[in-house]
Amino acid sequence: MRRAGRYGALLDGDLMNLLFPEREVVRVLLDGRLVDAVFRVEAGEHARRARFGLRALCYPHLLRRLERLPSGVLVGDPVPWVETCPLPEGVVERSAAGIGRLLEPPVVLDAVVVPAVGPAQTRHVWVADRFAPHARRWVVSGDRRVDAAVLVAAAVRGVGLVTRWPGPEVVTAADSPAGRPTAGTAWLLAEQTYGAWLAAGARSRRRELVPTG
């Protein structure tokens, strides 16, 4: 399976056009698993963070606390006031009336893709299924031969299955996200994806600046 684009993902252009037109993709470690994350950047939040010099904030406890704060509404609770004191400007708003959240998730995670270099195996399906509460899940097989056990596992778990040789073909479609997410987890996955996207973009820009010849 050849690499696609500057962000290190293993999805090639044909698969992106077939499954995820007009989306970004990046290779990222999510929940301890190396996968391809397909997402949309929240342009307003990205621009706002750029103004404040804010990057990805991958801190589960902080994100759970921020998630409980209403966005754009000041509350008088002293606990979050104390907990967020060390945070940089642009994360929360403080005034005599209380504290409010400014930070929002920087991306919308549309899909998690587990690429298999060779034939897809049930273990690829189990990895994809870990993200059931948060996004559509896909397994991309590097071989057109698909074992019956893999087909059954994908169908039961609602995981989409695609073969990419000799041409991309959808074997089973991915179901919508299902299950109850743990507090703060969806936001953490968004921050991890955003951080990988920013880092990949920075690496790409550095390569472009390297003189050749």
CA distance linking residue 175 with residue 99, whole number of Å: 39
Provide the pLDDT confidence category of residue 3 given band limits of 50, 70 and 90.
very low
Q: Which of 103, 97, 104, 54 is nearest to 77 (CA)?
A: 97
For residues 54 and 194, what is the distance between their CA atoms, to the nearest angstrom? Answer: 11
pLDDT score of 201:
84
pTM exceeds 0.85: yes
Position 208 pLDDT exceeds 70: no
Both structure tokens of 134? 């948060």
**Residue 9 pLDDT > 70:** no
CA 205 to chain centre: 21
The closest of 121, 199, 133 to 161, measured between CA atoms, is: 121
Tell me which amino acid residue 18 is.
Answer: L
Whether omega for the bond prior to residue 166 falls within 30 degrees of 0, making it cis, is yes
| pLDDT tens digits, 101-141 | 999 999 999 999 999 988 999 999 999 999 999 999 999 99
